[in-house]
Amino acid sequence: MAQMTMIQAITDAMRTELKNDENVLVFGEDVGKNGGVFRATEGLQKEFGEERVFDTPLAESGIGGLAIGLSLTGWRPVMEIQFFGFLFEVMDSVSGQAARQSFRTAGKRNAPITIRSPFGGGVATPEMHADSLEGLVAAQPGIKVVIPSTPYDAKGLLISAIQDENPVVFLEHMKLYRSFRQEVPEEEYTIPLGKADIKREGTDVTIIAYGAMVQESLKAAEALEKEGHSAEVIDLRTIQPLDVETIIASVEKTNRAIVVQEAQRQAGIAANVVAEIMERAVLSLEAPVLRVTAPDTVYPYAQGENTWLPNAADITETAKKVLNF
């Protein structure tokens, strides 16, 4: 075991898979010699060579096409989009092509592509760096979408993503890259995609979150405990497909739930979670399922982040609304 930040755990996952499977290729803008703009691929080119870890021209759409073509010749591409706000440049390759590769070849060609990309607010990035666009890709049949919130989850989930035979979008929250360390096993281990994790057990209200909102929800749970409320915090980890079983079991136990996301209310995936609960557990509910989200504006100017991004106080407040309904 070693103490790792999330970014170290991510590097470690890629190193592990580059070692395990000679078909794994890591590429993107500045991921080679430079080791990535966040050092996520630090040392990998040196260890595995330019044939396995390499830079690309600056063109996201081209990178997506490169991954698709490489997958059609038996490679297992791990491509990076430098910031997920640049998704729009490569939306066709991701949603229009890779996601549909199995379907449009009657299941005869698959696309074992992992698309790594940083996103998320709270670090005062310039425009189009921090936007939460997971809702866009989660809406596309054929893709799985993974968002880890801890170093341990990041490594196990990324290894699973790389080993998956289908395209997986793996979104890395920038604020979580180095915000804390955690014990992470040095050997290979996997965490199944599509499995949520109960980060804190509770009995009065279920708080369902993902990404940076998991840490905020845990803070809110502590605040609620001081007021005598026991909150259960579920970290979705995979937002497409959802772990409906874990969500429903928790709601049936607590009878109350809120869904927390950093994305705007009209975006993200919170509405999906609410709908699943309504369809499957409405008779267990003592109160409506409420959402904690950002306002429906464009992602804020950097200096406006603090007032715009949802945080632990917003979560506590919404949880209390549900508890006192």
Partner 1 sequence: MAAKKNTQFDPVNTLHEIEEKFEMFQILNEDGKIVNEEADPKMSDEELTELMERMVYTRILDQRSIALNRQGRLGFYAPTAGQEASQLASHYALEKDDFILPGYRDVPQLIFHGLPLHMAFLWSRGHYLGSDLADDLNIFPPQIIIGAQYVQAAGIALGLQKRGKKSVVMTYTGDGGTSQGDFYEGINFAGAYRSPAIFVVQNNQYAISTPRSVQTAAKTLAQKGLAAGIPSILVDGMDPLAVYAATKDARERAVNGEGPTLIETMCYRYGPHTMAGDDPTRYRTSDIDSEWEKKDPIVRFRTYLEGKKLWSEEQENAVIERAKQEIKDAIKQADQAPKQKVTDFLKIMYKGDMPYNVQEQFDIYTEKESK
Q: Which is nearer to partner 1, 39 or 280 (CB)?
A: 280
Q: Which of 64, 118, 151, 202 binds partner 1 (CB under 8 A)?
A: 64
Per CB under 8 A, 144 contacts partner 1: yes
* Listed residue (90, 86, 84, 82) closest to 61, CA to CA: 90
Q: How far is residue 216 from each of residues 79, 113, 274, 280, measured CA to CA in Å?
A: 30, 31, 20, 27
CB of 78 to partner 1, least distance (A): 14
Decide: 182 and 150 in contact? Cβ < 8 Å.
Answer: yes
| Order of strands across the sheet that contains 290-294 | 197-200, 231-235, 205-209, 257-264, 290-294
* Listed residue (160, 215, 209, 204) closest to 182, CA to CA: 215
Q: Which of 20, 43, 92, 301 binds partner 1 (CB under 8 A)?
A: 92
Q: Which of 17, 134, 153, 164 binds partner 1 (CB under 8 A)?
A: 164
Determine whether 173 is an active site residue.
no
CB of 82 to partner 1, least distance (A): 16
Q: Of the residues 76, 129, 237, 256, which is catalytic?
A: 129
Q: Where are the alpha helices (DSSP H) in 73-189?
A: 91, 134-138, 151-163
Q: Which is nearer to partner 1, 144 or 199 (CB)?
A: 144
H or E, element range at 289: none
Q: Which of 122, 185, 194, 288 binds partner 1 (CB under 8 A)?
A: 194
Q: Which residues of 182-211 are buried (b: 16+ CB within 10 A; e: fewer)?
A: bebeeeeebbebbebbebbebebbbbbbbb
Q: Which is nearer to partner 1, 116 or 256 (CB)?
A: 116
Q: Which is nearer to partner 1, 103 or 180 (CB)?
A: 103
Per CB under 8 A, 66 contacts partner 1: yes
- Which range, of 34-42, 56-64, 177-185, 215-223, touches partner 1 by CB under 8 A? 56-64
Per CB under 8 A, 47 contacts partner 1: no
Q: Which of 105, 203, 266, 306 binds partner 1 (CB under 8 A)?
A: 105
Q: How far is residue 78 from each of residues 27, 187, 200, measured CA to CA in Å?
A: 7, 20, 32
Per CB under 8 A, 24 contacts partner 1: no
* 304 φ/ψ sector (left φ>0, alpha ψ -120 to 50, else beta): alpha
Binding-site size for partner 1 (CB under 8 A) equals 46
Per CB under 8 A, 71 contacts partner 1: yes
3-state SS, residue 257:
strand
Per CB under 8 A, 250 contacts partner 1: no
Scan residues 261-320 and list those touching partner 1 (CB under 8 A). none
- Which range, of 108-116, 198-206, 208-216, 251-259, touches partner 1 by CB under 8 A? 108-116
Q: Which is nearer to partner 1, 185 or 194 (CB)?
A: 194
The C-alpha torsion from 175 through 245 and 228 to 288, rounded to 10°, is 90
| Order of strands across the sheet that contains 238-240 | 53-55, 24-28, 76-80, 114-119, 168-173, 144-146, 238-240
Catalytic residues: 129
Binding residues vs partner 1 (CB under 8 A): 25, 51, 56-57, 59, 61-62, 64-75, 92-93, 96-97, 102-110, 112, 141-142, 144, 164-166, 194, 240-245
